[in-house]
Chains A and B, each alone.
Chain A
Amino acid sequence: GQNIDQPTEMTATEGAIVQINCTYQTSGFNGLFWYQQHAGEAPTFLSYNVLDGLEEKGRFSSFLSRSKGYSYLLLKELQMKDSASYLCAVRDNTDKLIFGTGTRLQVFP
């Protein structure tokens, strides 16, 4: 079966660093995506990993270990506007995007 796990909720302070973990067990693997979704809005693309290692994009970085079925999203210099849900999604061997349950991040001043 398909299983993607993320913590349900996390809190952090403005200016801090937070790491959101994602573990997956899927029918094949053709890449892992991170999306940000503010309440009532559409998901927006943050990052994509298909090879092991770290991808950095400004304040956001994403890491992948395929052998461990593990990824994390690292958010640096947190801002209030980073309060949102963060969705980990895996493209399986049928090219479908399977979403995790999402992590709701609250950033406090």
Chain B
Amino acid sequence: DTEVTQTPKHLVMGMTNKKSLKCEQHMGHRAMYWYKQKAKKPPELMFVYSYEKLSINESVPSRFSPECPNSSLLNLHLHALQPEDSALYLCASSPLMNRESYEQYFGPGTRLTVT
């Protein structure tokens, strides 16, 4: 199984809603990532978890709250989002976050629209 899965595929939410994005991998990878990608732009790193601990937070607003319940799962909790947060949210995983040639495997993404 070389797949990263994400649910839901599409999400429309209001600015007062609370929702969660989910990501799962069963490749035994110990590093997991959240990226945000706006149309025609490259992915921007948001968070990195290494061995289920948050290792990088790229100064992301607190309305985005990541959670890593176990080594296979990564969640992104959303609350009080703004319309400009509408984007494709990509999850990725890699065997380790180190300097070896470990590429990141990306999930299909969740297309989020904030109304």
Q: In whole angstroms, how far apart are the Cα atoms of A100 and B98 in the complex?
A: 20
Per a CB cutoff under 8 Å, which of B41, B48, B99, B107 touches A42? B107
Contact of A44 with B106 at beta-carbon distance under 8 Å, contacts A30-B99, A95-B97, A95-B99 already known? yes
Q: Is B43 touching A99 in the complex (CB atoms < 8 A)?
A: yes
Docked CA distance A45–B40 (Å): 18
In the complex, per-residue mask of A45-60: 1 if CB is within 8 Å of any chain B CB, else 0: 1001010000000000
Q: What's the least CB distance linking A91 to chain B, in Å?
A: 7
Let me know if B99 and A41 touch, CB within 8 A: no
The tally of CB-CB contacts under 8 A between chains A and B is 48
B106 touches A43 (CB 8 A): yes
Q: Scoring B residues 93 to 115 as 1 if CB is less than 8 Å from chain A, else 0, what string do you get?
A: 00001110101111111010000
A43 to B97, CA, bound (A): 18
User: Which DSSP category, helix, strand, loop or mixed, fits chain B's interface?
Assistant: loop
Is A96 positioned at the interface, with any CB of B under 8 Å from its CB?
yes
- Size bracket, chain A contacts: 20 to 34
B105–A45 touching, CB < 8 Å: yes
How far, in whole Å, are A52 and B105 apart by their CA atoms in the complex? Answer: 24
Is A24 interfacial (CB 8 A cutoff)?
no
Q: Which residue of chain A lies nearest to B4 when distances are taken between CB atoms in the complex?
A: A42
Q: How far is the CB of B12 from chain A (nearest CB, A)?
A: 16
Q: Which of A76-103 contact B (CB under 8 A)?
A: 87, 89, 91, 94-97, 99-102
11 further A-B pairs in the complex, CB-CB below 8 A; given A31-B99, A96-B56, A100-B42:
A40-B111, A42-B108, A44-B106, A48-B101, A87-B43, A91-B99, A94-B56, A95-B98, A96-B45, A102-B42, A104-B40
Interface residues of B (CB under 8 A from A): 4, 40-45, 48, 56, 88, 90, 97-99, 101, 103-109, 111
The 8 closest A-B pairs by CB, nearest first: A99-B42, A42-B106, A45-B103, A30-B99, A48-B101, A43-B106, A42-B108, A95-B97
